[in-house]
A and B are shown apart, each in its own frame.
Chain A
Amino acid sequence: MMWSWIPDNWSLIWHLTWENFKLGVLPALYGLIIALPLGIVAARWRWFYPPVLTLVAVIYAIPSLALFVALIPAFGLTDTTVIIALTVFSLCVILPNVVEGLRSVPAPVTQAATAMGYGGLRRLVTVELPLALPVIIGGLRVGVVSSISLASLGQLIGVSSLGYLFIDGLQRDFPTEIYVGLVLTIALALVCDLTLVGIRRILTPWQPRREKRSRGAAAVPMRGAA
């Protein structure tokens, strides 16, 4: 471990961390934006969900590198290729949580809302989505964390991320670089995850403090790190 390497390469490290951050957060946000309408439809029309879930599982099984390669002809060796691929993976993680979240809204609550004169859309926006929020954010957390870790693979097609430190460290047989990359990836994931937990706390003051673990947990297991 060569500690002096870190201050000497501060700007490189900072740049790579920032790039990796973007490659982690943007796909998760895009994934959420796509998953919301799909999830709402799937939660309402039950027949729609099983085929969608199957499709999601199949897409999720595609190795990420293979998906990058498949997208290169259309988007080249760019951020866009990586972001699209990671968006697809995030979508796969977030969608089931949107559906589960909406389904977890207690039936008496939706029934009472209807009986008090809520229209469908108003009920969705002011009752069902707020109540589904903890579970949706749970999915978002997994989406962000897995995107952050998968983003390092982007380096293989030349898109900067903390993955650079792994590849460069390996090629130069310089473990310090690999350790720094590893620690920063984990730290980045942790910070983003905790931020989302904080956001959830702020948005859902109504939740019992001693929440159940399952509330924040994802409906889909986390994808392995690069």
Chain B
Amino acid sequence: MITFEAVTKRYPDGTVAVDALDLEVPAGKTVVLVGPSGCGKTTTLRMVNRLVEPTEGRILLDGQDIREQNPARLRRGIGYVIQQTGLFPHRTVEDNIATVPVLTGWPRAKARARARELISLVGLDEGLAKRYPHQLSGGQQQRVGVARALAADPPVLLMDEPFSAVDPVVRASLQDELIALQSELHKTVVLVTHDIEEAIKVGDLVALYRPHGTIAQFDTPERLLADPVDDYVAGFVGFDRGIRRLSFFGSTGLSLGTGPVLGADATVAKAQDTGEPWILVVEDGEPRGWIPAASLGGHPGDTPLGRVPAEGVGHTFKAGPDSLRAALDAAVLSPAGQAVGVDDDGRLAGVATFDQIRAAIQAADAAGARDAAEAAGAGQSDNSKKPGARAAQGAQPGAAP
């Protein structure tokens, strides 16, 4: 756990980068610091490993003041990943990764063996071990950067805009892998980004900064989208936060219908009997395509639906694992205006109309509000550093107990 207690960083020219910051990063969680450039998020991060020393206040790592520790030793226990990777150009991939183990006195062979493990862990090919950084793509370099930070198995990982320099496709996959790694390793991660989407995607908690080194809201991503404390936060989170928030609602509660579903061997006449404006044709349990009822008239009544030209299903969503956002998206993109839900094997689970999706959203919303109310009730006796609290004004030193 990392605790900031009334931490201020003021530069000699009077600029205040971080202003009386109170923040608690729970162990094993990913906390994302997000905000406009110059808001103090990177300064906050760099105070944790003492690359920047605070002017006032103190920072505790598992209860111990970090100033009481030797900086070099402290840093060897804290992984550090930066946007420009900072890989050593003159060392091979494996030697880059082995850096901290070698610094802490591991024998080189053992350090290299560990490096090999990490190369696989971050999804790189072992054949890259002997390459130099300039021979790798941006995404590969960033993976090496993450592997290097993890090499000595530090409990804490600091990441400063780790994925900002790579293209969006690579970025998305790196984010996915960070989430997957984190679900396995449970590091205490502090990640800085200017990208609110990234914050919401990878963070267990998000601290949204105001321009001059204070936190506007420290909350779960879902709460940040559902209930921004003020216009600044709402503006930063973005205009389509309502839709994005649906990412946090599972589609388990969504009721699926089979009204317009018919097999490929069913006849045109049977399809017309359903009265549905669109018919979903299913073959071997898998959705094949949508047929508009209007086009059925041109075919003899005994024609099997499999012979009638159909429009593509668009994209489907996995009923259960996927979110309501995916379901809504599938409905929007479907020619029939209905979302096609499938199971893990791609077999049809059912279809959902906009009305059914809306009902599921309302139900999830009500459940979310109940949870939030309970959390707020439980948190009231606590101080403002706890997630869920509104840190905007409470972050003043006077507010700390």
Contact = CB atoms under 8 A, between A and B. Distances in A.
Interface of A: 106, 108-109, 111-119, 127, 130-131, 204-208
A117 B134 contact: no
A116 B84 contact: no
Given A206-B90, A206-B132, A115 B80 contact: yes
B386 interface: no
A127 B87 CA distance: 11
B90 A112 contact: no
Interface string B66-89: 000001111110101011111111
A127 B88 contact: yes
B49 interface: yes
Nearest to A122: B103
Given A109-B87, A130-B90, A204-B90, 9 more contacts: A106-B86, A108-B83, A108-B86, A112-B82, A114-B51, A115-B82, A116-B100, A117-B75, A206-B91
Contacts of B104: 117
A207 B135 CA distance: 10
Contacts of A112: 80, 82, 85-88
A207 B49 CA distance: 31
Interface of B: 49, 51, 71-76, 78, 80, 82-92, 99-100, 103-104, 132, 134, 148, 158
Given A114-B51, A116-B99, A118-B103, A108 B89 contact: no
Contact of A106 (B72, B84, B92, B103): B84
Candidate in B51, B91, B99, B100 with the most chain A CB atoms within 10 angstroms: B99
A116 B80 contact: yes
23 contacts: A108-B83, A108-B84, A108-B86, A109-B86, A109-B88, A112-B80, A112-B82, A113-B88, A114-B51, A114-B75, A115-B78, A115-B82, A116-B75, A116-B80, A116-B148, A117-B72, A117-B74, A117-B75, A117-B103, A127-B90, A206-B90, A206-B91, A208-B134
Contacts of B76: 116-117
B103 A206 contact: no
A119 B85 contact: no
Contacts of B74: 117
A65 B55 CA distance: 58
A111 B90 contact: no
Nearest to B72: A117
A131 B87 CA distance: 12
A208 B91 CA distance: 13
B72 A119 contact: yes
B90 A131 contact: yes
Contacts of A208: 134
Contacts of B103: 116-118
Contact of A115 (B75, B89, B134): B75
A130 B91 CA distance: 10
A206 B131 CA distance: 9
A99 to B, nearest CB: 19
Contacts of B92: 206
A119 B76 CA distance: 11
B49 A115 contact: yes
Nearest to B134: A208
A206 B133 CA distance: 8
A9 to B, nearest CB: 47
A106 B92 CA distance: 17
Nearest to B131: A206
Contacts of A205: 132
Contacts of B86: 106, 108-109, 111-113, 115
A205 B99 CA distance: 19
A117 to B, nearest CB: 4
Contact of A206 (B72, B85, B134): B134
